[in-house]
Amino acid sequence: MQPVWWALGAVAIAVAAFVVMVGPTKIGQWILQGRQALVADENKSSEAMDEKQIVHAVEGAKSIKQAMKSPDSFKLESMTIMPSGAVCYVYLAKNEFGGVVKAAAVFFKDEIATLETQGFDLRWKDECQGKKGKDVTGFGELMVY
């Protein structure tokens, strides 16, 4: 049992000597740099996730546009990525009579629900109505047209 105490004592003396030689300020700087590196890595992975979500949202908008009877009439008003991962769209489109109407869609779990889709109202209420998300309309306007 005594050799264990000798080893622990030797380690404690070595750590104390290291702190005295290097200085507490330098050790604090190393700790701060390590924390900053962890935060930077976290931000990079967050940005990568944001890019992936934006690409997913743009693909949804393209699908909505392509499925329309008059795709050229598609005008994106808003495209919002919600915390749940759903994407909420509000857009203008021509109806079968040639009039421009406001429409909406929800892209969630690789399914797009539009006003014509059964259960759309419930999906919109659950995912979009009165909720805040990340507005990425600008990306949609650049990449869909």
How far apart CA 66 and CA 112 sit, in angstroms, is 12
Looking from the CA of 97 toward its CB, the CA atoms found within 13 Å total 3
How far apart CA 65 and CA 62 sit, in angstroms, is 5
Predicted model pTM: 0.65
How far apart CA 115 and CA 134 sit, in angstroms, is 22
DSSP letter assigned to residue 115: T
Return per-residue pLDDT of the chain as tens, 145 residues.
Answer: 576 666 566 655 755 555 566 565 655 555 555 555 555 544 444 455 588 899 999 999 999 999 988 898 999 999 999 999 999 999 999 888 888 899 999 999 889 999 888 999 999 999 999 999 999 988 776 676 5
- pLDDT, tens digit, 9 for 90 and up, residues 50-76: 888 999 999 999 999 999 888 989 999
